[in-house]
Every structure is written in structure tokens, then in C-alpha cells.
Structure 1
């Protein structure tokens, strides 16, 4: 007998979706919101760039915590995230489902997805329930910002750092970036950010 764990229905659903990119792309508007984080995570790890870009465009949470996947960053999947952000920046009206406000490149250990996809700045908050809809902003163009950590940018992302900095520089009027160093946890939960201009 094998001691291998039996996959859950959610894991089987995600595997099935990742096998058929065209089907997945056509289903994103109707995809249950709870499948977005694990599907994005696996698509990013597998470097399925069409799915990654389209999921950024449809991201139903205020924060995309990409820093927790930093060990899987490659040129193509990182580019797909930035392409999705570019698509949103250039739209007057956003897709109805998209609530993305923050691309968080702060490294946080695994499990960050479960706790953080419903917060506005990438840190836990009691202000809003994660799945609560905001009818005043639904479908309207929203502002985007990037949170990044110096140590992450210059060590882990060293191969992509110059490209990313150039991307930020070209969009500094539309996408503010806040860099911060490693700071104590109590300071991380307040806004200890340096504005990149």
C-alpha cells in the first residue's frame, strides 16, 4: 500500500484547470473565489504565464502577495504579473471582479495566502471581511501600488532587479512603490514605508 496522501477535491480541480489553459481562462469570471489563491500559486510555480497574467487582471482580492512565491520567480512568470498590472493601468474601466490594489513583494513564509488575500496593504487588518464586495469601486479603475523589500529586491530578485526598477521608473506617476527594510513586526504592521519617487 502507498502512504501517499489522497488529493483533496480542490487539489484535483486545480490540477484539471491547469491542464487546460483555454478552459481555465474562459472560466475565471465564474471561478469560486476560494480557488483563486491556490490556482494562482500553482500557475505561477508551473510558469503558466497566460493564466498568471489573466488572473492578475481578474484578481478578486485587494492584495496579491507575490513575495510569498519569491522562490519560484523566473523571468516569464514575473513578466506575466507585470503584464497583468500594465493591462490594468491602461484600462479606463476594470473587469468587474478585479479588486487588486497592492502587489506585495514582501517575503512572508508559506501560509500568507490564507491570512492576507483580503487585506488592503498586505498586512492583517480587522477593517474589512476578506470576501466583502465594495459596490462603490466594483468595475471602476483603481489605483495600484507596489510594496517591496530592499533585501528581497537586491538578493532574491537580483537577476530581474534592473528590469523591475526600470518598469517602476516608467510608471512612477501611476504606480507608487514603497520600499522598506526588514523591521520589527510591530513596525511592519504600521506604515513604515519609504516612498519611491
Structure 2
């Protein structure tokens, strides 16, 4: 824990006397205000906060950066009330341009316009005062619409004086009908990250299509845990996928696509990915089943040609040909920095087929390979093959299958012997740090034992 700076100590001393602090604000240099604002918020000094905000001299107010999780809303409301007074003052002489309510993506000292606001529309220095830009991240769950409701009411009340801009918009709802009425208050074309989670009726994707057409600056789309509460015919499924694919075609800024536990798209995944006409930086298809025909098309897609991050976690690759993955690794050899193949059921012969291509991924920094049933001989060959990847700094390997006996029971003595031998091999290449060996996941608690790093769960069977 670092010692407080002289400026922090001065702020603490000043805030012990609120009246003195408020009077001192009139002569206090502007440079000291961001730190004092942070300390006043953390200390619950409501009156000092209001006074600071009433004459805020910077174009940005990073309110979200000083908020603590589960903190009282009264302080936030006090700041918002003071901002509201600024909006209706005449003449409008305040300098504030951006009120940032996001708890991530900024720091308490980000009070000047810069890269942190690059996703927002630029403010012209000429002409009349522009509406205040209120930046938010929205996370909608059942019964948790209070923040969006209050913000939308504020935007309606001060129409023309402020505009809501949402950077990340995540929805965890079985049905979308409850949140669509709020979308008109958010500038859709500035949403950067969109997440659709736990949807119970995939047909509602069709209701979203008209909105997706406005997301011209969308860079990341996540779709997870799509469930089917009713039987959907093949024709309707094709219609839904075709509608979604037609909108993805127009998302020219899309760089990241994450599909998790989205079995709804099985057999149609290639149609969805084929609609992307520009290369992605990040692709995650996890906890999904991929059919043979769509897997065989995987490496031919434009979107996978320059990947920096690829995750196929919990996709059963053992029943699929290794050739598409080999070709994909060859294509992305000069760009790939993160590869996650955890729990893909990859065996020795599959590994040997992709190993030459993997050893050419010279930019690779993290490699996750837990949960694949490899022999001791295959692991030795893998470690020696990746030895030339000089940028690798985090490697996650499975405990050899030789360590398991009697239908998956872990033999601890064998585990110690085999893992120590593998670590010895790594030391000859000066790369024993940040390299871990993990068991399969426990069938009961889903935890994974990491050799020499974590404790064994109580529900796992082991001997020795």
C-alpha cells in the first residue's frame, strides 16, 4: 500500500473543516480540484461536492471513476442535481462538455478531452452551446431498470440540453420487450459494445434487426446462453439467422464477436460468420457444438484471416478434422497473440497435425490448453515445439492423461513425478515461470486443480 501524496494529505486536512474547504475553493488552483473532488466523494462531503461541481472548470467530469460499488446513491444524486442546475442556468457559461458515469474505461484524473472520449461525437468550438454528453454503460437485468429509467426521464426533461451516449449495452433478459421502449433515448450509432445474454426466445432477434442497422460504430458483439423455450422450425431458424446476418453485413467497424453457449446457431454458424466481410481481431465460439460442414468452411472465412485472439473453449474438436484449424493457424500466424483451446478434447494425433502451424505463431503471448487428454510423450513434444515462441508469457497445459487411473481418478504421485519432469524440460529453455499444469475440471464443483498452485477440491477423487 503506497503512502498518500502531499496533495492527498492536504486534501484530507482541508476536508476536516467543510466551511473552510468551501471558502478555500474560490482561491484553490484548478489543478488541485480533480483530486479534491475524488476525496470529497469518498469521504461523503456532500456540500463540498456540490460547490466543486457548480464551478467545475474542466470539459470532463469523471463521476463514474470515483464511485464505489454498492455505495449510497445520495452523493451521486447530489452531483447530478448540481449538473442539472448548470444546464438550465442563463447564460450557459459552464465549461462541462462530458459527464462520464462509467465505472470502467476512465480514471479520476481524466478531466480533459482526449482518447477516453474518442468514441463520442466531437464537440465544435464554434457556435452555440452543444448539449451535454452523458456517457454511460448500461447493464439491464430483471427488475434493474432504475438507472436507465432515471436517465431517460432526465434526457426527456432536458431535451436539447443533454444527450445520452452508451458505450457498453448489456442485456440479461429472457425477453426484450421490457427494454425496447428505452432505446429511443440512447444514441444507438455510438454504442461500441453490445451484449445479448440469456434470451429465451431467439425469434426476438428479428425485433432487434431494425436497431442493429443503427449500430454503425459497434466494435464488439456478444451473444450468450440463447435458450429455446419453444420448438423453432428449420424454416423459422433460417429466417432468423438470415435476418441477423444481413445486419452484420453492414457492421463495418465490428472487430470482436463472441458466441457462447449459442447452440441455436448450430448448422448455421458459417452463414453468420460469412456475412462479415472484414477481418475480425477477436473471435470466440465457446461452449458450442459445430457441425462438420460448417467447421470445414471455418478456415475459408474472411473474418478469421487476421485474428489476434481466438477462443474455441469447450468446442469438441476431437470429432472434427484438424485441417481447418491448421489452416487457420497458418493464416493468423503473424497476428495471433492469444489462443484458447481449453476443454476441446484434443488427443495426441490431433495435436501432431496442428503442431507445425502452432509453432509458427511467433506473436503468441498466451496459450490455454487445459482439459485436453494428452499423453506424457505428446506434452513433451508440445513443450519443445513451443520453445521457439519467444513472446509466450502465460501457458496453461493439461496434466498428462498418464496421471489418471480407474475412470478418471487422479494419482497424485504420478502427477508430481510427471509435472516435475515437464517443469525440468521447461527450465532447460528458461521458461518455467507463468507456466501451469491443470487437471480436468471436477464433475461436481467444476474447479480445476493447478499443480503446485491451488488446493485440491474436497469432492474430487484422488489417490497417492
TM-score bracket relative to the smaller structure: 0.5 to 0.7
The verdict on how the C-alpha distance between 1:120 and 1:21 changes in structure 2, with shifts beyond 3 A counting, is farther
Q: Which has more radius of gyration?
A: 2
Could you give the per-residue CA deviations for residues 71-128 of structure 1, whole angstroms, max 9, x where no partner exists? 2542211111111111101211356xx521110122326x7133x211168437xxxx
User: Which structure dedicates a bigger proportion of its chain to strand?
Assistant: 2
Distance 1:159 1:45 in 2: 26
Instruction: Verify: 1:61 aligned to 2:48, yes or no.
Output: no
Distance 1:35 1:160 in 2: 34
Could you give the per-residue CA deviations for residues 57-78 of structure 1, whole angstroms, max 9, x where no partner exists? 1112111111212325422111
Alignment-derived partner of residue 148 in structure 1: 136
Alignment-derived partner of residue 27 in structure 1: 24
Distance 2:83 2:42 in 1: 19
Alignment-derived partner of residue 108 in structure 2: 113
Instruction: Please give the secondary structure, in 2, of the residue aligned with 1:118.
Output: coil
The verdict on how the C-alpha distance between 1:105 and 1:20 changes in structure 2, with shifts beyond 3 A counting, is same
The one of the two structures with greater contact order (alpha-carbon pairs below 8 A, sep at least 6) is: 1
User: Residues 63 and 122 of structure 1 are in contact (CA less than 8 Å); yes or no, is this contact kept in structure 2?
Assistant: no
User: Which structure dedicates a bigger proportion of its chain to helix?
Assistant: 1
User: Residues 66 and 105 of structure 1 are in contact (CA less than 8 Å); yes or no, is this contact kept in structure 2?
Assistant: yes
Structure 2 stretches of 5 or more lacking a match?
Answer: 119-124, 171-187, 192-213, 215-464
CA RMSD of aligned residues (A): 3.4
- Please, which of 90, 93, 110 is the counterpart of residue 92 of structure 1? 90
Instruction: Please give the secondary structure, in 2, of the residue aligned with 1:41.
Output: helix
Q: Once the 2 structures are TM-superposed, how far is the Cα of residue 143 of structure 1 from its aligned partner?
A: 3.8
User: Residues 63 and 117 of structure 1 are in contact (CA less than 8 Å); yes or no, is this contact kept in structure 2?
Assistant: yes
Structure 1 stretches of 5 or more lacking a match?
Answer: 125-133, 184-190
Q: Once the 2 structures are TM-superposed, how far is the Cα of residue 10 of structure 1 from its aligned partner?
A: 1.0
Distance 2:2 2:138 in 1: 39
User: Residues 101 and 137 of structure 2 are in contact (CA less than 8 Å); yes or no, is this contact kept in structure 1?
Assistant: yes
- Please, which of 6, 9, 16 is the counterpart of residue 13 of structure 2? 16
The verdict on how the C-alpha distance between 1:141 and 1:172 changes in structure 2, with shifts beyond 3 A counting, is closer
Alignment-derived partner of residue 46 in structure 1: 43
Alignment-derived partner of residue 80 in structure 1: 78
Instruction: Please give the secondary structure, in 2, of the residue aligned with 1:71.
Output: coil
Q: Normalising by structure 2, report the TM-score.
A: 0.31
Q: Once the 2 structures are TM-superposed, how far is the Cα of residue 160 of structure 1 from its aligned partner?
A: 4.9
How many pairs were matched up?
166
Give the 5 Å matches for 1:130-141.
Answer: none
Q: Once the 2 structures are TM-superposed, how far is the Cα of residue 169 of structure 1 from its aligned partner?
A: 2.6
Distance 1:68 1:78 in 2: 12
Distance 2:129 2:20 in 1: 27
